[in-house]
Amino acid sequence: MSAQALKISGMTCDHCAASVQAALLGVVGVTRADVSYGAGTAQVETSADTPISALLNAVRAKGYGAEIGDDACCPPPSPQLSKLRVAIIGTGSAAFAAAIRAAEEGAEVTVIEASTIGGTCVNVGCVPSKIFIRAAHVAHLQAHHPFPGIAKHAPIIDHAALVAQQQARVEELRHAKYESILETNPGIKLARGFAHFKDEHTLLVKKTDGSEKEIMADRILIATGRSPQIPEIPGLAGTPYWTSTEALVAEPQPKHLIVYGGSVVALELAQAFLRLGSRVTLIARSGLLSKEDPAIGEGLKAALIEEGMRILTDRRVNAARFDGKTFHLDLDGETITGDRLLVATGRKPNTDGLHLDRAGVQTDAAGAIIVDDHLRTSAPNIFAAGDCTNAPQFVYVVAAAGTRAAINMTGGDAALDLSIVPAVVFTDPQVATVGLTEAQAAKRGIETDSRTLTLDNVPRALANFDTRGFIKLVAEKSSGRLIGAQVLAAEGGEIIQTAALSIRNRMTVADLAGQLFPYLTMAEGLKLCAQTFTKDVKQLSCCAG
């Protein structure tokens, strides 16, 4: 055990002293904390490996000043204890957000990576997929735009050139946002290899040559992400099926692509390949986007079928076979054939092989690490963030979790608020949602009132000659407070944050209906939908307030 004396500034009452005491007692390793408002001091007893920086950061996170005291009975910490040692497994969005913040807080950070720096988003997820989707959108417009005064023509596709451009941008962003940080931030070191736990403070890092390196840390963050979940289908193993990783860089363009899956990745890539010239058959085990409001899936299904996609819902693949040229998928009563197969049936957490049991880290039935709102696991010194946890799998949630985990690992107090999480599916029309659906509200015992506005009532959609979709608002019936929004629209992703902010600020639909929205924007549809709770918008002038 060791004792530390701190000078505390900014306290104005005994309640402040109690708040500082609670913050100090929340630091791992602190066994006692006596705080005096009158003297402006704190006497803290800690375990030998508790760094002084963790104590200072805990107090500062509460809004008070903190410095090392000059009490003669409490010598300053030894140089070995002056820096908190943080080890981070992974180098994706959560890992880097945490590494940067922890280094800013004065920690000595080691990130550990066995594969490509940067994780899913920049390498095989958000960045390459959105480039691919955008290119497909441009190709689609050349042949299918709504303006008769502009000649339509079938696009000429150079798939290899598209992949080359996409990968060049991936490499550019990977270097700018990840690799260059490792090169320029002296507080962050990189260790190469596959990490697994020896105990709650020790990681063993296996290198490519088979040797192992031991890394000791005061705090450990697990940020290992997820990878494609492949269903157990007889005959599938050993065939050259694609996951999204292979599909985004594959050449040449398939003639007939079979997509197995009915959620985000399956739908986004299926439509992109369709627009670039492939025949596409999509097989979904339930409905499309089955966790959303049913109207979303049905509306999107109609739009995709109109473009030429064949969609089979509530169907399962019973067996698969590849004859060297063609995939044969057996469904009940039908065999589907195609030259390529994309399996996009979900993603599983990358926790196998970490030996989490050695550190006392608990997971759920799917292998996801269970964390609380401070990103703490069941082990005192171990945190987790990102897709490997039971939190929502969105990169902006991941990054926010990484930052907050770092704050908490270095003695702060930051919660991850997941009460309002907007989401976007980048199909065309886009799916954008936030808050509760009617069904979700009902499960919570909330009585609702809702309205759905079709896009033929939105002036911007009419001007675009694209009225596919709708805007739906869900309100708490007793108060009129907005609690959810579901959007199916060509620019749904640009609309949804306004709804998210409205929910965050506890606005009613009447409040939203009374706001000023720029005319001829898609976001104006939110105002119009809010107005339908009390008015017939068909009877209003085009920009009526």
Please state the domain extents for the chain.
Answer: 2-76, 85-119+167-228+348-409, 244-345, 423-537
pLDDT at 245 over 50: yes
What pLDDT is recorded for position 81? 41
What pLDDT is recorded for position 80? 41
pLDDT at 73 over 60: no
Rounded mean pLDDT of the chain?
93
What pLDDT is recorded for position 194? 97
386: left (phi over 0), alpha (psi -120 to 50) or beta: left
Section 34-52 average pLDDT: 83
Cα separation of the two ends of the chain: 68
- pLDDT, tens digit, 9 for 90 and up, residues 101-126: 999 999 999 999 999 999 999 999 99
- pLDDT, tens digit, 9 for 90 and up, residues 274-306: 999 999 999 999 999 999 999 999 999 999 999
What pLDDT is recorded for position 286? 97
pLDDT-wise least confident of 117-121, 336-340, 454-458, 539-543: 539-543
pLDDT-wise least confident of 39-53, 210-224, 520-534: 39-53
Cα–Cα distances (Å) from 122 to 194, 246, 478, in that order, read 20, 15, 44
- Spell out the residues 6+ positions from residue 76 whose beta carbon is closer than 8 angstroms to its own: 52, 68
pTM of the model: 0.84
pLDDT at 51 over 90: no
What pLDDT is recorded for position 544? 60
Contact of 194 with 115, CB cutoff 8 Å: no
Section 520-544 average pLDDT: 88
Top-tier CATH class for 85-119+167-228+348-409: alpha beta
Q: Do domains 2-76 and 423-537 have the same CATH topology?
A: no
pLDDT at 77 over 80: no
| More confident call, 72 vs 389 | 389
Alpha-carbon gap, residue 221 to 49, rounded angstroms: 18
Q: State the architecture of 244-345 in CATH terms.
A: 3-Layer(bba) Sandwich (3.50)
pLDDT at 79 over 50: no
Q: Looking at the domain 423-537, which fold is it?
A: Enolase-like; domain 1 (3.30.390)
Q: Give the residue among 309, 268, 288 at the shortest CA–CA distance from 136.
A: 268
- pLDDT, tens digit, 9 for 90 and up, residues 415-435: 999 999 999 999 999 999 999
What pLDDT is recorded for position 1? 65
- Spell out the residues 6+ positions from residue 474 whose beta carbon is closer than 8 angstroms to its own: 435, 436, 437, 438, 441, 448, 449, 450, 482, 483, 484, 485, 486
Q: Which amino acid is at 119?
A: G
Query: What is the band of 369 on the pLDDT scale with cuts at 50, 70, 90?
Result: very high
Alpha-carbon gap, residue 218 to 221, rounded angstroms: 10
Catalytic residues: 11, 13, 16, 64, 121, 126, 542-543
Q: What CATH number does the domain located at 2-76 have?
A: 3.30.70.100
- pLDDT, tens digit, 9 for 90 and up, residues 375-387: 999 999 999 999 9
